[in-house]
Amino acid sequence: MAGFPIVASRRLRSTPFTERVEAAGLSSYSVYNHMLIPVSFASLTEDCAHLKEHVQIWDVSVERQVEISGPDAHDLVMKLSARDMSQARQGKCYYAPITDGQGGMLNDPIILCLDKNRYWLSIADSDVALWAAGIAEGLGMNATIHEPDVSPLAIQGPKSDDVMAALFGEEIRTLKFFNYAYYDWRGHELLIARSGWSKQGGFEIYLHDSALGTILWDDLWEIGRAYEMRAGCPNLIERIEGGLLSYGNDMTRNDTPLECGLGKYVSLDSAHDFIGKKALKIQAEQGLTKHIMGVKISGPPIAPPANIFSCRSDGREAGIVTSACYSADFDTNLGIAMMSSSISASGDLIDILVGDEWRSAQTSPLPFS
């Protein structure tokens, strides 16, 4: 699949940072929420090593915001979120699975409570705004659902604090993980969270005006010179190593959050009522038939695009590998797999079909260690 160029249009949007991203050495794209997202610059391996040592600037505009506002906004968010949001407060970010009536995953946004009746769902790759609007319409709720002009830009990697402090002031170093606050920049108030889709630490700047995209990028880029900053993007290797699950890859509507190991974000025992709760309670009582885990796959390095790999144990079907890539740091191929409950994550030996070849593999908890 690689090698063929992508053509953007109004339907498949570029971002406020596209021009800078392409000038900074982009080598390939994917598409996410109808928008371009960088996939690699130098190479997956080189990008990964740099991210772990220095600092990168990431165009993650594809993390679109579904804004839910109005008198019933809080009630609607409560209906949608498997996580109990009754105590949600400003300044905090909440990772929250959204499930359908059968408990199937529809999205796994980070929810920001901007105020009592105004929320942002910073979404993964599905039009979950349509689900929210459908629920509101069906239940006759008074809530407005729309996509504001907000384009997140991430600073990720161990030197993130230095870069951010240089532009936004020393105060930002005290911002706690999964908290957000507002910081002044050229007279604009920018919502900035300590978050991001890597395990290397960093920030996400929720830029509220596309017209400011290149100015913000350039300001950060200029400061980054002193810190060996490069343009980067969510890195396949680093996120598999860290056990960060990708909606659409590792989790789909055919999987529940319990199967995806996200049980701690699902409020089954509180009074919190949400769509899918009944089905998930039954599943929790009856036990899972499949669950997510890591796999270490022997043999030559695996590179994307990787299809889904079949797994077997003692000659019987055991599950599928949903993401896989060679990791230089682990010196083996790592994968994320949805496996039968009969397989344990603690080192079971299985076989995985890569191309035409069955390879030996070993299960592992996530994140890899």
Site residues, a copy of itself (CB under 8 A): 1-12, 14, 18, 22, 26-32, 34, 36, 39-40, 100-101, 106, 125-128, 130-139, 246-249, 275, 304-308, 322-323
Nearest to 125 by CA among 246, 15, 241: 246
Residue with tokens 């080598």: 27
Nearest to 47 by CA among 335, 331, 366, 327: 327
Q: Nearest distance from residue 127's CB to a copy of itself, in Å?
A: 4
Q: Nearest distance from residue 324's CB to a copy of itself, in Å?
A: 10
Q: Nearest distance from residue 12's CB to a copy of itself, in Å?
A: 6
Instruction: Give CA–CA dist 219/79, Å, rounded.
Output: 40
The CA-based angle 28-192-111, given to 5 degrees, is 85
Instruction: Give CA–CA dist 347/330, Å, rounded.
Output: 15
| Closer residue to a copy of itself (CB): 32 or 185 | 32
Q: Nearest distance from residue 167's CB to a copy of itself, in Å?
A: 28
Q: Nearest distance from residue 276's CB to a copy of itself, in Å?
A: 9
Q: Nearest distance from residue 302's CB to a copy of itself, in Å?
A: 13
| Closer residue to a copy of itself (CB): 126 or 195 | 126
Instruction: Give CA–CA dist 226/156, Å, rounded.
Output: 15
Instruction: Give CA–CA dist 167/172, Å, rounded.
Output: 10
Instruction: Print burial letters for 83-105: b (CB count within 10 Å at least 16), e (below 16).
Output: bbbeebeeeebbebbbbeeebbb
Q: Nearest distance from residue 8's CB to a copy of itself, in Å?
A: 4
271 contact partners, CB below 8 Å, separation of at least 6: none
| Closer residue to a copy of itself (CB): 205 or 302 | 302
| Closer residue to a copy of itself (CB): 9 or 286 | 9
| Closer residue to a copy of itself (CB): 144 or 179 | 144
| Closer residue to a copy of itself (CB): 144 or 313 | 144
Residues 129 and 34: beta-carbon distance below 8 Å: no
78 contact partners, CB below 8 Å, separation of at least 6: 84, 85, 86, 272, 273, 274
- Collapsing DSSP to helix, strand or coil, 228 comes out as coil
| Closer residue to a copy of itself (CB): 14 or 179 | 14
| Closer residue to a copy of itself (CB): 138 or 287 | 138
Q: Nearest distance from residue 268's CB to a copy of itself, in Å?
A: 19
Instruction: Give CA–CA dist 335/368, Å, rounded.
Output: 10
